[in-house]
Copies of this chain bind each other. A is one copy, B any other.
Amino acid sequence: MRRILIQLDTDPHPSTFDRVVAVDSDVEQLFSYGGVTCDNVEPLVHGAMFTRGPQDLKSTALFIGGSQVAAGEELLARVSKTFFGPVRCSVMMDSNGSNTTAAAAVLCAAKHLALKGVTAVILGGTGPVGQRAAQLLAQAGAHVRVGSRTADKAYKVCNEILETLGTGELTPIAAGSPAEVHLALEGAQLVIAAGAAGVELMSEGSWAGHRSLKVAIDLNAYPPAGIAGVGTMDKGSEKHGVIRYGAIGVGGLKMKIHKACIRKLFEQNDQILDTTAIYRVGQTLVS
């Protein structure tokens, strides 16, 4: 029974990135669809459900991707609702790499810090990667400060995460001005920048002065850096007593998590690999 991955991409052209990774994760047949929406996805899922016998359904899996994370989330909900009883296939959702990136960033931090009880700041905390990193850190028992240009937006995100988790220590913070950012880091051990590409969120002077800070992770791949003084290639090197990771430094682990998740899809037919499940796969890789 050949391993088939059905790529459901919300962009017009299905991502080549996700296709190459699928091939390199031993997928044998890749069916790639672009322009997938909640309105047209049902027959695509039915074709996966109704073609192979129960014992072989684990050899057909679904991958939801595309640059629009909110569209991917909606699609995952729609796909999950299409299944019934044991007639289902495993699904992974990683629109714009959001889940694998957030998981890799948090796991990089966890190499150097015991997350339980740590104080973490997420800059750009209302974007898809920032939200997911905040969720994973809160699940691990960290005190998470979710930063945004306006406290309102941050507050909304904290509430959403709390709804998902049921419990967690999340504090919305305004982190628009240099002074606010400086204040946000007070007493924090970890900062993760997950803002828009090419926007500096924090100056080097701002983080260099914080004695409590142990780890700074910048997920921005395009200059200027989100955290000045953290290079994209940084992978655990120290400056001002702070361990730094850049986008490419995190990228190796992100890619390993992505591949491990694709392989895991084919172990059983009833998995939903979302933020939490993808993080757990990552944990097995670093332990």
Contacts and interface: CB of A to CB of B under 8 A. Distances in A.
A250 to B, nearest CB: 13
Contacts of A255: 51
Interface stretch (A15-23, A68-76, A203-211): A15-23
Closest 9 CB pairs of A and B: A16-B47, A17-B47, A20-B51, A16-B44, A23-B29, A19-B31, A2-B23, A13-B33, A16-B48
26 contacts: A2-B24, A4-B19, A4-B20, A4-B23, A6-B16, A11-B43, A13-B33, A13-B40, A15-B43, A16-B31, A16-B44, A16-B45, A16-B46, A16-B48, A17-B46, A17-B47, A17-B51, A18-B47, A19-B29, A19-B31, A20-B48, A20-B60, A24-B51, A24-B52, A31-B32, A43-B67
A85 interface: no
A18 B45 CA distance: 12
Interface of A: 1-2, 4, 6, 11-13, 15-21, 23-24, 29-33, 35-36, 40, 43-48, 50-52, 60, 67, 255
Nearest to A56: B24
A170 B15 CA distance: 45
A52 B25 CA distance: 12
A51 B21 contact: yes
Nearest to A2: B23
A201 B266 CA distance: 42
Contacts of A51: 16-17, 20-21, 24, 255
Contacts of A33: 13
Nearest to A40: B13
A195 to B, nearest CB: 20
A20 B3 CA distance: 10
B44 A13 contact: yes
A40 B12 contact: yes
A47 B20 contact: yes
A93 B24 CA distance: 26
